[in-house]
Amino acid sequence: MNEHSPARGARIKDVARIAGVSTATVSRTLSNPDIVSEDTRKAVLAAVDQTGYSVNLSARHLRQQRTGGILALAPNLANPFFSEILSGISDVLRGAGLNLIVGDTSVNDDARVRLVDYANRARCDGLIVLDGSLEPEVFTRSQCPPVVQACEWITGLPAPRVFADNEAGAELVVDHLAGLGHRRIGRVSGPPSNSLTRSRDAGFRRGLERHGLAADVVIEGDFSLASGQAAAERLCASDDRPTAIFCDNDEMACGLMGALRRAGLRVPDDLSVVGFDDIELSRHLTPALTTVHQPRKTIGLRAAEILLERIEGRAVPEETRVPVSLCPRDSTAAPPG
């Protein structure tokens, strides 16, 4: 089987003849363009365009003893948060001629065990892990291919991490609410063991301290709509609630706002609400949700790029922190009274 297959009769020697180089140079250019000069690369690619020649990726993967697939493990594909990240990953892999395989880790224990069995060089060339709750031992076995962590990260796993600046985002929330005049700011957190929860907690508390404030109330959630609804029920049952609430993600904020409205409380007149993530739904709520925007597609793109660099044996940064920004919308206003 040849690495390069003919398209409309074109052969590798036709490309070499038109480009004025050897067939070996054509092969090197198409397999690893960084090792040839720019002039050579341009000449070969122009000849490829002229002849309609195409690369047989299956043959290349076989020659390189690779599968041609990258596995991404995400904790709940029903959550719209992950769609843009996976889109960014897919864009990079498509350009590299690789397939994206996606596994949902929010399954029963037996299925989860079978899923992590795919963390094997015989099944995939690399992994992008978006679930910080997995055991690090799964990815430190000798048969595991290169790993990159995205969004969340696993304590004790020495693999590169690509994530939004969660601490800075939480500080932006406090700055915004304090700037509106809020002095009693509560929070609906994610699970305490989650890496995102810990980072956002650190930024939240640092922001409060800078403004001379203390957390008014912290309600533990699990990033779901249901936990946002449960938090609203607790707030409604209190006679002494805060004037603003920061939710660790948009999904909990959506659940919170819906339950508050059903209970007769108005957002932001009675209670200001802020989320984190800027999912598509957040701007279509009534009122539109003030939230922290994290460029999820950029996270996916960078995670995939770093993984490809690792697969090629290149040095990569241990940590890549992607900047975030605040999106002020209608769910926040000055405190009542």
Are β-strands 126-129 and 244-247 bridged in parallel, bridged antiparallel, or unpaired? unpaired
- State the maximum Cα–Cα separation within the chain, in Å, rounded to a whole number: 83
pLDDT at 65: 52
In sequence order, the 6+-apart residues with CB closer than 8 A to the CB of 329 are: 282, 283, 287, 288, 289, 290, 291
200: pLDDT confidence band, cut at 50, 70 and 90? Answer: very high
Residue 74, classed as helix, strand or coil, is strand
Residue type present at position 295 = P
pLDDT at 1: 39
pTM: 0.77
In the chain, the DSSP E strands lie at 4-5, 54-55, 69-74, 99-104, 126-129, 147-150, 161-164, 185-189, 218-220, 244-247, 272-277, 290-293, 319-322, 325-327
The burial class, CB within 10 Å (0-12 / 13-18 / 19+), for 57 is middle
pLDDT in tens, 44-89: 888 887 887 765 544 454 445 566 889 999 988 877 789 999 999 9
pLDDT at 116: 67
Residue 12, classed as helix, strand or coil, is helix
pLDDT in tens, 32-47: 666 778 888 888 888 8
pLDDT at 321: 96
110: pLDDT confidence band, cut at 50, 70 and 90? Answer: low
**DSSP code of 273?**
E
In contact, 105 and 115? CB cutoff 8 Å? yes
